[in-house]
Amino acid sequence: MDSRDSLIFEKGNKNTQINFIPKMDIEFDELESFIPKNLIRDEVQIPDIPEVEIVRHYVKLSKINYGLDSGIYPLGSCTMKYNPKINEHIARLAEFSQIHPLQEENEGALQLIHNISNMLAEITGMDGFTLQPAAGAHGELVGLLILKKFFETKGVVKNKIIVPDSAHGTNPASAKMAGFSIIELQSNKSGEVPLDHLEFAMQQGDVAGIMLTNPNTLGVFDKQIKDITKIVHKYGGLCYYDGANLNPMLGICRPRDMGFDIVHLNLHKTFSTPHGGGGPGSGPVGVTNELIPFLPKPCIISTENGIVCTHDKTHSIGRIKAFWGNFGIILRAYVYILTLGAEGLKRVGQIAVLNANYLRTQLQKKYNLPYNRICQHEFVLSDKNMPNEITTEDIAKRILDYGFYAPTIYFPLVVNGALMIEPTETESKDSLDKFIEAMYQIYEEALNEPEKLKNAPSNTPIGRLDAVNAARKPILRD
Amino acid sequence: MDFVPHDDDTITEMLEVIGVNKIEDLFKDIPKDLIINGLNLPEGLSEPDVLKKLKELGATNTIYANSFLGAGCYFHYIPTLVDFVVSRSEFYTSYTPYQAEASQGYLQAIYEYQSIISRLTQMDVANASMYDGSTALAEAAIMASIITRKNQIVILEGVHPEYIEVVNTYCWGQNIALKIVPIDKIEDELNQEIAAVLFQSPNFFGNIEDVSVLAKKIKKTAPNCLLIQCMTDPTCLGILKPPGETGVDIFVAEGQSFGINPSFGGPGLGIFAVKEKFLRKIPGRLVGKTKEINGEREGFLLTLQAREQHIRREKASSNICTNQALCSLSALIYLVSLGKTGMRKIATQNFQKAHYVKKKIKKIPGYEVLNNKPTYNEFIVKCPDIDSLIQECKKLNLLPPLPLSKYYPEMKDVALVCVTESNSRESIDRFIKALELANNNKEARY
C-alpha cells in the first residue's frame, strides 16, 4: 500500500457541513448595503472537506514524517534533544495561551519574561537580555544592529565584520542585513581562528568586530578564545557569540567570561523547545552593561512598582518584532530551565559532550575524521577515502533506509563532503549503539554492495528526488 | 531532572571506550580559568511542582470571558482538530525537512500550505512562512529595494504602528529611507526613486481601501514601484477581493487568526506571497514538487535553496533560517477545516457583527464612529470617557478595546473596537451596557 496520500484539495464534497462557526445570533443587513459590491470577491477555491477526511489525511502524512520522538536525530548544530511533554501542556494553559499582547493585566507574562532573562543572564554571564527575536538568525540581526548603533552613537565608522569560514551561513547573511560587509577568516589546521590573521584584519581600523561560535561547527573549543576576544577589543571592536552551539557549555563555561559582548541563544536548540519542523523558534539576545541602552524596545525592567515595560530608550535600535517575541516558545524554555535547575543544566553540557565523543570514537574506526581530537557537542566526518566513490549524500540517504534521520551534510564548508553529527544528551547508549551499528553496516555495504548506497533510499515512502529539475522548473503550488 | 537516560555504569563504560577517565577530561580544551563553579540557579523542580508554579504565575494574567480587543492579535474560534494535528509529535518534533525522503509528510503539508495561501490570496507564489506580519512586511520592503535597486520606501498611514517601527528598524539596517505619508497625499509623494509603497487594508483603524484604485494611481505615476499590501486579520479574505486581483505585487499578513492562539502575541505566522516574476527574490523557504531521479513517483522537497543563507551566505536574499513552520501547519488545518463555505461564513459574521455593534453605538449619546470608509471587524470610536469605558468593560468581564492614545498620544478618548464571530449577542449586549455606563459616569461627574 502506498503510504503517501493525494493532496488535501482532492478530498472535497459539495454537501460537507462546516461546524466551526457559531450560529448567527444577531439581526443583520444585506452585506452589500455596507460594503461596496466591487470589493467583494468570488468564492475562495478551497474545497469543503469532511472532518474525518482531514484528520485521516494529516495522520497519514504524520506517519511518513520522521520526528525526534521517532528516534535519533543527529543533525549537527541543530541540537535535536528530547522536547519534554510538560512544556507543551503548560504552553496550552489558558492563562498563557489566551492572553492578548496588548491587555493591561499581564503581570504573569512580563514576570516570566523578566525571570527567564535573568536566568539566561546567569547561564551566559551577560548583563541584560531581550526576548523579542523570533529565531536565531533574527537574534543575530539584532546583535549586529546593536553593534552598528553602538559605533554610530560613538561617531565611529566601522562597517566590516569578521566571520570565520566555519561559521553558520546565517552569520554573514545577518551581517549583511545590518549593513556590514564581511571579511571571511580561514580557520587554521586545528579548526581554530588564526591569531595573526585576526590581528591583521583588526589593524585595518574599519572592523566592527567578530562573529564566532565556540565550540565551532567542527565541535572544537577554541583554546585561544580569550586571546581572540582580547585582540578584537584591543582595536576597539566587539565580539559576537553565536549561541547555536551553547548546549555543551551549559553550566561549564560562559560566553561572557570568554570575552564576548553580545550573545544570541536558540531556545529551540539548547532549551528544548520543539523545532516544529523548522520553527517557531526564539532567539534571545544578551549583552554587557555597556550595550544595554541599545537593546530593542520595549524593554522589560524591574522597578519599585514591580516589573514594567519601558519604551523610553533613546539609543535603542528600535523594535524588531511586533509585541513581545515568541512568548509561547519562551514559556516552554522557562519550564525547561525550572525543571532542570543548576545541576540539571550542567549535566546536559557534560552528557552532550560524552555522547558526542562516544559516537566520534566509534565512528572514526570506519570513517574519515578530518579533525581528530576530543570534540565538544558535535564532530564532523567526511566521505574522503570512502570505497567505490561513495559520497556523503549516498551515506546520508542510506542512513534513512536504516530508519534513522541523517546528520547535517555538506556543512561546515571547511570540510569537503562533511557529515556533521550531534547526538545531544538525551540519546541513550542503546540508541547510539544502534546508530553506530547501522553506520558500520553502511560502511560494509559501501565496500561490498555500493549500489545499495547509490540507489538509497529504498525503504522510504519515496526514492531520491530530482532537486535539479525542481529548481529549474519550480512547481510551488497545485 | 535532566532527561539524561544514562546510569552511572553506562557513563563509565562510555568513558572507557573514549579512553578518558572522567567527564571533566573531555573539557580539557577549555582554559581552566573559564570553567565555572556551578550556576547560581534554583534546584530543579518536579513536574507537579513546576506545573503548580506556572499556574500560580499564570493566575496573574487576567483571562476575560469575551474580548473587544484586536489591533493585530485576534480571538477567533479554533477548530479542535487544529491542535490535534499540530500535536502529532512526528510533526512538531521534526527539524526543517532537509532529508526529503524521511520528511514527505511535512513537506507535503507545507506544499499544501503554499497552495492554499495562493488560492486564498490569488497571488502566484507563497513561501513557507516568515516570523510574523511585522517582519514579513519589513522583509518585503527590503525585497522591493533589492528588486528595484532603489532605496526609498513610502509607507501609508494606517499601517499597524508596531509594524512601522519594525520596518523602520530593518530599513535603518540597510540604509533604506522610509517616509510615512497620508493615503490622500500619495500622488504628491511618488517619484521614480521609490522602491515600494507599503499599505495596510483593512488598516489599523479598520478602514478598507479600494486597492484597485490605489494600485492604478501608483502605477500610473511610478510604474516600477512595487505595491506591498499588509493585513493583520486575513479572515476578511473570505469576502474581500484578494490582493492577486487588485494589482498588489507582494502581499504579507499576520496569520495568527488562522488557528493560532493569541499567546501574548507570539508565535504567530508571517504570510508572504508574491507575483510569479519575483519568485527568485522571495526570502525564506519554498517547498517544490518534483519526481524521483530513478522513478516516476512525485514527491516534495525544499527547493530554490540557492537564494538562501546556508548556500549564498552574505549574498542571500535574507538571513531567515528558522521560520514558523508549525504555525503554517495550524493555518493550513484551519483553512481546510473551514473550506470555502466556512471562510465565507466567518468573514460574513465578522462583517455583520461589527456592523451590528457600530449601529448600536451610533444610537448611544456621546459616542461617534469615526471611520469614513467601509470596515471589517475593527473600527474606531470617539468616546466620552475612555478610562471609564475600560473600567466598565473589565467589571463586565470583557477585555476592553484598545485606547488609541497608546500609539497616538494626540488621539485621546478614541477606542479601536474589535468584534469577531466569537462575540455572542450576549457579550455584545454587555459591551453596549459598558458603553452606556461609561457615558453615564461621565455625565454624573459634570
Kindly tell me if the per-residue pLDDT of A267 is higher than 80.
yes
pLDDT at A384: 95
pLDDT one-digit tens code per residue, A428-462: 999 999 999 999 999 999 999 999 999 999 999 99
Task: Supply the DSSP string of B308-375, one letter for each residue.
Answer: SHHHHGGGSS----S--HHHHHHHHHHHHHHHHHHHHHHHHHHHHHHHHHHHHHHTSTT-EE---S-B
The mean per-residue pLDDT over the stretch A382-403 comes to 97
Which of A12, A347, A474 faces B288 most closely, judged by CB atoms?
A: A474
pLDDT at B446: 67
End-to-end CA distance of chain B: 62
Which of A55, A96, A341 faces B43 most closely, judged by CB atoms?
A: A341
Pseudo-torsion of CA B116, B117, B118, B124, nearest 10°?
A: -140
Please say which residue of A339, A356, A388 terminates a domain.
A339
pLDDT at B445: 74
Q: Do B166 and A348 touch (CB under 8 A)?
A: no
Peptide bond between residue B374 and the one before it cis (omega within 30 degrees of 0): no
CA A216 to chain centre: 15
DSSP 8-state assignment for residue B432: H
Residue with the bigger pLDDT between A237 and B306: it is A237
Residues for chain A: how many in total? 478
The C-alpha cell at A423 is 547526538
pLDDT at A305: 79
CB A88 within 8 A of CB A103: no
**Where are the extended beta strands (E) located within B139-286?**
152-156, 177-181, 194-200, 226-231, 250-254, 270-274
Pseudo-torsion of CA B170, B176, B181, B187, nearest 10°?
A: -140
pLDDT at B343: 98
The mean per-residue pLDDT over the stretch A163-174 comes to 92
Q: At which residue does the C-alpha cell 482532492 appear?
A: A10
pLDDT at B131: 98
pLDDT at A409: 96
Residue A476 in any domain: the answer is no
Q: Cα(A114)–Cα(A129) distance, rounded to whole angstroms?
A: 9
Residue A142 in any domain: the answer is yes
pLDDT at B39: 97
CATH level 3 topology of B66-74+340-445: Aspartate Aminotransferase, domain 1 (3.90.1150)
* Gap from B292 CA to chain A (nearest CA, Å): 4
* Gap from B391 CA to chain A (nearest CA, Å): 11
Residues A272 and A314 in one domain: yes
| Domain limits, CATH 3.40.640.10, in chain B | 80-335
Q: Do A99 and B286 touch (CB under 8 A)?
A: no
Residues A34 and A92 in one domain: no
Residues A321 and A355 in one domain: no
pLDDT at B444: 80
Q: Which CATH code, of 3.40.640.10, 1.10.3720.10, 3.40.50.12780, 3.20.20.10, is assigned to B80-335?
A: 3.40.640.10
Residues A360 and A427 in one domain: yes
Chain A contacts of B26, Cβ < 8 Å? Answer: 350, 353-354, 357, 374, 376
Residue A79 in any domain: the answer is no
Residues A41 and A146 in one domain: no
pLDDT one-digit tens code per residue, A415-425: 999 999 999 99
- Give the residue on B whose Cα is nearest the Cα of A52: B81
Hey, is B444 helix, strand or coil?
helix
Q: Which of A170, A468, A416, A167 is nearest to B308 (CA)?
A: A170
Please say which residue of A339, A370, A396 terminates a domain.
A339
Which CATH number fits the domain that encloses residue A219?
3.40.640.10
Hey, is A251 helix, strand or coil?
coil
Peptide bond between residue A280 and the one before it cis (omega within 30 degrees of 0): yes
pLDDT one-digit tens code per residue, B44-81: 999 999 999 999 999 999 999 999 999 999 999 999 99
CB A428 within 8 A of CB A71: no
> What ipTM was reported for this prediction?
0.97
pLDDT one-digit tens code per residue, B319-362: 999 999 999 999 999 999 999 999 999 999 999 999 999 999 99
Which of A68, A99, A409 faces B61 most closely, judged by CB atoms?
A: A99
* Gap from B369 CA to chain A (nearest CA, Å): 14
pLDDT at A3: 87
Q: Cα(B85)–Cα(A98) distance, rounded to whole angstroms?
A: 19
Q: How confident is the model at residue A1 (pLDDT cuts 50, 70, 90)?
A: low
* Gap from B158 CA to chain A (nearest CA, Å): 15
Q: Do A341 and B42 touch (CB under 8 A)?
A: yes
The mean per-residue pLDDT over the stretch B368-381 comes to 97
Pairing of strands A306-310, A299-303: antiparallel
Query: A interface mutation test: which of B263, B318, B353, B386 has the most A CBs within 10 A?
Result: B263
Chain A contacts of B170, Cβ < 8 Å? Answer: 177
The C-alpha cell at A78 is 541543530
Q: Burial letters for B359-375: b for 16+ Cβ neighbours within 10 Å, e otherwise?
A: ebbeebebbebebebbb
CB B234 within 8 A of CB B117: no
pLDDT at A113: 96
Q: At which residue does the C-alpha cell 552613537 appear?
A: A153
Q: How confident is the model at residue A303 (pLDDT cuts 50, 70, 90)?
A: confident
**Average of per-residue pLDDT values in chain B:** 96
Q: Total structural domains in chain A? A: 3
CB B395 within 8 A of CB B325: no
The mean per-residue pLDDT over the stretch B30-46 comes to 96
Output Rg (C-alpha) for chain A, integer angstroms. Answer: 25
- For residue A52, with 0-12 CB atoms within 10 Å meaning exposed, 13-18 middle and 19 or more buried, which class applies? exposed
HSE toward the beta carbon, residue B174, CA cutoff 13 A: 28
Q: Do A96 and B240 touch (CB under 8 A)?
A: no
B228, β-bridge pairs: B198, B250
- Establish if B351 touches chain A: CB-CB under 8 angstroms: yes
CB A326 within 8 A of CB A274: no
Q: Cα(A234)–Cα(A126) distance, rounded to whole angstroms?
A: 20
Q: How confident is the model at residue A189 (pLDDT cuts 50, 70, 90)?
A: confident
pLDDT at A191: 82
- Establish if B65 touches chain A: CB-CB under 8 angstroms: no
Q: How confident is the model at residue B162 (pLDDT cuts 50, 70, 90)?
A: very high
Residues A333 and A408 in one domain: no
Residue A474 in any domain: the answer is no
Q: At which residue does the C-alpha cell 513610502 appear?
A: B154
The C-alpha cell at A336 is 525547561
Residue A32 in any domain: the answer is yes
Residues A40 and A189 in one domain: no
Q: Which of B321, B286, B271, B329 is nearest to B133 (CA)?
A: B271
Q: Do B319 and A170 touch (CB under 8 A)?
A: yes
Q: Cα(A9)–Cα(A48) distance, rounded to whole angstroms?
A: 9
Q: Cα(A319)–Cα(A133) distance, rounded to whole angstroms?
A: 10
Kindly tell me if the per-residue pLDDT of B93 is higher than 70.
yes
Residues A51 and A155 in one domain: no
pLDDT at B315: 81
A419, β-bridge pairs: A381, A409
Q: Do B90 and A408 touch (CB under 8 A)?
A: no
Q: Considering only residues 5 to 64 of chain B, which have any Cβ-Cβ distance to chain A shorter than 8 Å?
A: 5-6, 10-11, 13-15, 17-20, 23, 25-31, 34-36, 38-45, 47, 50-51, 53-55, 57-64
pLDDT at A38: 96
Q: Do A145 and B73 touch (CB under 8 A)?
A: no
Chain A contacts of B160, Cβ < 8 Å? Answer: 322
Q: At which residue does the C-alpha cell 554610530 appear?
A: A152
Residues A374 and A314 in one domain: no
Residue with the bigger pLDDT between A166 and A100: it is A100
The C-alpha cell at A47 is 474545497
Residue A475 in any domain: the answer is no
Q: Cα(B167)–Cα(B198) distance, rounded to whole angstroms?
A: 10
Host domain of residue A371 = 348-469
The mean per-residue pLDDT over the stretch A70-81 comes to 96
Residue A17 in any domain: the answer is yes
Residues A318 and A391 in one domain: no
Q: Do B239 and A31 touch (CB under 8 A)?
A: yes
pLDDT one-digit tens code per residue, B205-245: 999 999 999 999 999 999 999 999 999 999 999 999 999 99
* Gap from A235 CA to chain B (nearest CA, Å): 23
Q: Do B356 and A27 touch (CB under 8 A)?
A: yes
Residue B394, C-beta contacts closer than 8 angstroms, at least 6 positions apart: B64, B400
The mean per-residue pLDDT over the stretch A230-237 comes to 98
**Average of per-residue pLDDT values in chain A:** 95
Residues A334 and A379 in one domain: no
| Domain limits, CATH 3.90.1150.10, in chain B | 66-74+340-445
Chain A contacts of B213, Cβ < 8 Å? Answer: none
The mean per-residue pLDDT over the stretch A44-72 comes to 97
pLDDT at B194: 96
Please say which residue of A339, A370, A399 terminates a domain.
A339
- Give the residue on B whose Cα is nearest the Cα of A136: B322
**Backbone angle region of B424, left / alpha / beta, with phi > 0 → left and psi within -120 to 50 → alpha:** beta
Chain B contacts of A460, Cβ < 8 Å? Answer: 101-102, 104
Q: Cα(A375)–Cα(A265) distance, rounded to whole angstroms?
A: 21
The mean per-residue pLDDT over the stretch A62-81 comes to 96
Residues A217 and A335 in one domain: yes
Kindly tell me if the per-residue pLDDT of B309 is higher than 90.
no
Residue A278 in any domain: the answer is yes
Q: Which of B344, B101, B376 is nearest to A65 (CA)?
A: B101
Output Rg (C-alpha) for chain B, integer angstroms. Answer: 26
The mean per-residue pLDDT over the stretch B196-213 comes to 98
CB B92 within 8 A of CB A67: yes
Long-range contacts of A383-386 (CB under 8 A, 24+ apart): A383/A416, A383/A417, A383/A419, A384/A416, A384/A417, A386/A446
CA B383 to chain centre: 29
Hey, is B373 helix, strand or coil?
coil
* Gap from A198 CA to chain B (nearest CA, Å): 20
